[in-house]
Chains A and B, each alone.
Chain A
Amino acid sequence: EPEVTQTPSHQVTQMGQEVILRCVPISNHLYFYWYRQILGQKVEFLVSFYNNEISEKSEIFDDQFSVERPDGSNFTLKIRSTKLEDSAMYFCASSLGGLIQETQYFGPGTRLLVL
């Protein structure tokens, strides 16, 4: 069964450093998403991406964040200058369509720790 994969599973970085989190969505899916979960808090929507552009983003997704689909298979989340409060589990998801009833398929997550 096809699944969403994410690398790395864990990343430790120093405050102010750039990090890139990588995801490989399911191959025939067209919509891609990033969510995050700060320890002890709810899973939160960050951004959705379709047709090589952002379709929606939350207020969390400020200028420090960017997303890209560089090669037709990977979908990346870049944090330019990490802050302590960026420490969280980051989940990538993909769906075939973008409507509200579409199932989003999630990867196992990348746990980011900013020191």
Chain B
Amino acid sequence: AQSVTQLDSHVSVSEGTPVLLRCNYSSSYSPSLFWYVQHPNKGLQLLLKYTSAATLVKGINGFEAEFKKSETSFHLTKPSAHMSDAAEYFCVVSDRAGGTSYGKLTFGQGTILTVHP
């Protein structure tokens, strides 16, 4: 069975400082991994995804994430936070269990990012 753990429920940074949102996963097979962001009253928007190509994945709005199989991690980073980055972020895994679980996503519990001026 697949699972996702986001290690911080809340992260607070100052504008212009780096962002690190941590995610660990477990999966029986080679997973696909995603980061989604949710702004208030908006849908879940895809930031980036890993699908077994390059281990360093670049996404929208300057975010990137590195897939580390040995550490079962997929941490999300951004060099310099902007006020508009304040939102809730979800790490998500999708894998296949016995050839049947096409496209079923398993979510982490979410990390709320606060950005201070």
Would A56 and B104 count as touching, CB distance under 8 A? yes
Total number of B residues with any Cβ neighbor in A under 8 Å: 28
Interface-side segment among B14-22, B37-45, B60-68, B71-79? B37-45
Q: How far is the CA of A101 from the CA of B42 in the complex (A)?
A: 23
B66-106 interface code vs A (CB 8 A; 1 in, 0 out): 00000000000000000000000010001110001111111
- Supposing A56-B101, A108-B41, A109-B43 touch, asked if A100 and B90 sit within 8 A by C-beta, the answer is no
The size class of the interface chain A forms with chain B is 20 to 34
Would A100 and B102 count as touching, CB distance under 8 A? yes
Would A100 and B32 count as touching, CB distance under 8 A? yes
A104 at the interface (CB under 8 A from B): yes
- Supposing A43-B90, A55-B102, A103-B34 touch, asked if A4 and B43 sit within 8 A by C-beta, the answer is yes
Would A101 and B49 count as touching, CB distance under 8 A? yes
- Return the contact of B103 from the options A31, A44, A107 (Cβ within 8 A): A31
* Nearest CB in chain A: distance from B80 CB, A: 26
Would B44 and A45 count as touching, CB distance under 8 A? no
A105 at the interface (CB under 8 A from B): yes
Residues of chain B contacted by A31 (CB below 8 angstroms): 103
CB-nearest residue of chain B relative to A108?
Answer: B43
B94, B102, B108: residue with the most chain A Cβ atoms closer than 10 Å: B102
B51 at the interface (CB under 8 A from A): yes
Would A45 and B95 count as touching, CB distance under 8 A? no
Closest 5 CB pairs of A and B: A101-B51, A106-B44, A43-B107, A108-B43, A98-B102
Would A102 and B103 count as touching, CB distance under 8 A? yes
A4, A106, A109: residue with the most chain B Cβ atoms closer than 10 Å: A106
* Nearest CB in chain B: distance from A27 CB, A: 16
A7 at the interface (CB under 8 A from B): no
Q: How far is the CA of A56 from the CA of B109 in the complex (A)?
A: 22
Would A108 and B42 count as touching, CB distance under 8 A? yes
- Return the contact of A104 from the options B41, B101, B105, B106 (Cβ within 8 A): B105
Q: How far is the CA of A101 from the CA of B49 in the complex (A)?
A: 8
A95 at the interface (CB under 8 A from B): yes
